[in-house]
Amino acid sequence: MRLADFDFDLPPEAIAQHPARPRDAARLLHVAADRLDDRVVRDLPDLLAPGDILVSNDTRVIPAQLQARRGEARIGITLDRPLADGSWQALARNAKRLHPGDVLAFEGAELSATVEHRRPDGSVALRFNRDGAAFAAALEQAGALALPPYIERPEGPTTEDAADYQTIFAEAEGAVAAPTAGLHFTPELLAALDARGVARATVTLHVGVGTFLPVRVDDVAEHRMHAERGIISPEAAAAINRARAAGGRVVAVGTTSLRLLETAADASGVLHAFAGDTNIFILPGHRFRIVDRLMTNFHLPRSTLFMLVAAFAGLDRMREAYAHAIATGYRFFSYGDASLLERAE
């Protein structure tokens, strides 16, 4: 398939600059096989059934943009993802100035890092002088949110963004970007889902800077996804398998949850505990193993995320859904409205 197959025209005014308030007041487009229904997010319990299981991503966004100095040189650093050995992969402006063994001092906190590797793509592996709670505290002092470039903040992220760009599920620190479908949930909505008899489970996928990177090849099959760190606990896998065995549907909150579930499910649809990296790239033709429904925001044209929703619900169906959303004033991207997609058979 060609990149142009996933293109569409989006008026700039459709890009949300702020979230709906309250969060569950955002619009929700229900995309079924035979209809499009205009709802709001707080209607979600009515669209699910007792015994379904809602699977959300509990990653927590960190202030990943940092300013560092190596001697007199000033270097911008954006953390990408934690690595298995405790170091961090990061993107560096002026990366050619960095060499293994260089020590970076970060502005705004008593924080430093040693460069362990430099890669041809401009990324580096950094070993920080702090970890755990001390590292998190230093990031809060020195870092800033890496908001998507389409959210216009000429003066930088605001104090409202610090709260708005974090989901109610956020616990495990390590994401550069928010799993934005989760931004729509409130305590009241979760209580309504519980009362409906919808089970809940969380998984962890630390969203990296690769989520912002464009596809640069015309043949989309040649695109290579950046790896992201994911965890599915044995308890979460067992809960999801039980719900599915009892006839419940697996409802992924966000493309991040879906990608991790599809990574860890076997060909028979059984989910396994997982701890590692995933770079799964889902295109039309993918055979979905475990996810039955997907709640997700509206995505950029020509993006891997629009390719994923086209794979899940059908490219023609998603073209129709997005045309409807644009024509009827839905708000797009991270702070925008949501959709609930039924998987195409």
Span 62-74, mean pLDDT? Answer: 90
The answer to whether residue 82 scores a pLDDT higher than 90 is no
Instruction: Count other C-beta atoms under 10 Å from residue 33's C-beta.
Output: 11
Do 27 and 112 have their domain in common? Answer: no
pLDDT in tens, 30-46: 999 999 999 999 999 99
Let me know if residue 154 belongs to a domain: no
Which pLDDT value is given to residue 171? 96
The answer to whether residue 81 scores a pLDDT higher than 90 is no
Instruction: Count other C-beta atoms under 10 Å from residue 186's C-beta.
Output: 15
Span 6-20, mean pLDDT? Answer: 97
pLDDT band at 71 (very low <50, low <70, confident <90, very high): confident
Do 106 and 126 have their domain in common? Answer: yes
Tokens standing for residue 147 = 């908001």
Q: Are 48 and 41 in contact (CB under 8 A)?
A: no
Do 222 and 286 have their domain in common? Answer: yes
The answer to whether residue 96 scores a pLDDT higher than 80 is no
Which pLDDT value is given to residue 263? 98
Q: What is the mean pLDDT of the chain?
A: 95
Do 92 and 237 have their domain in common? Answer: no
pLDDT in tens, 240-288: 999 999 999 999 999 999 999 999 999 999 999 999 999 999 999 999 9
Do 294 and 220 have their domain in common? Answer: yes
Which pLDDT value is given to residue 309? 98
| CATH code for the domain in which residue 94 is found | 2.40.10.240
Which pLDDT value is given to residue 195? 98
The answer to whether residue 14 scores a pLDDT higher than 90 is yes
Do 35 and 105 have their domain in common? Answer: no
Residue 277 belongs to what domain range? 3-61+166-342
Let me know if residue 285 belongs to a domain: yes
Which pLDDT value is given to residue 249? 98
How many folded domains does the chain comprise? 2
Which pLDDT value is given to residue 159? 92
Do 187 and 225 have their domain in common? Answer: yes
Which pLDDT value is given to residue 226? 86
The answer to whether residue 330 scores a pLDDT higher than 80 is yes
Choose among 71, 141, 67: nearest CA to 109.
Answer: 141
pLDDT in tens, 133-144: 999 999 999 999
pLDDT in tens, 197-250: 999 999 999 998 777 778 999 999 999 898 899 999 999 999 999 999 999 999
Do 118 and 92 have their domain in common? Answer: yes
Q: Are 167 and 183 in contact (CB under 8 A)?
A: yes
Which pLDDT value is given to residue 273? 98
The answer to whether residue 83 scores a pLDDT higher than 90 is no
Do 7 and 50 have their domain in common? Answer: yes
Do 269 and 196 have their domain in common? Answer: yes
Which pLDDT value is given to residue 118? 87
Which pLDDT value is given to residue 150? 93
Which pLDDT value is given to residue 145? 94
Q: Annotate 235-252 with b (16+ C-beta within 10 A) or e (fewer).
A: ebbebbbebbeeebbbbb
Do 223 and 323 have their domain in common? Answer: yes
Do 261 and 179 have their domain in common? Answer: yes
pLDDT band at 194 (very low <50, low <70, confident <90, very high): very high
pLDDT band at 26 (very low <50, low <70, confident <90, very high): very high
Contacts 24+ apart (CB under 8 A), 36-44: 36/320, 36/321, 36/324, 38/328, 39/340, 41/184, 41/185, 41/189, 41/338, 42/188, 42/189, 42/192, 44/189, 44/192, 44/193, 44/295, 44/340
Question: Where a domain ends, among 143, 178, 201?
Answer: 143
In the chain, the percentage of residues whose pLDDT exceeds 70 is: 99
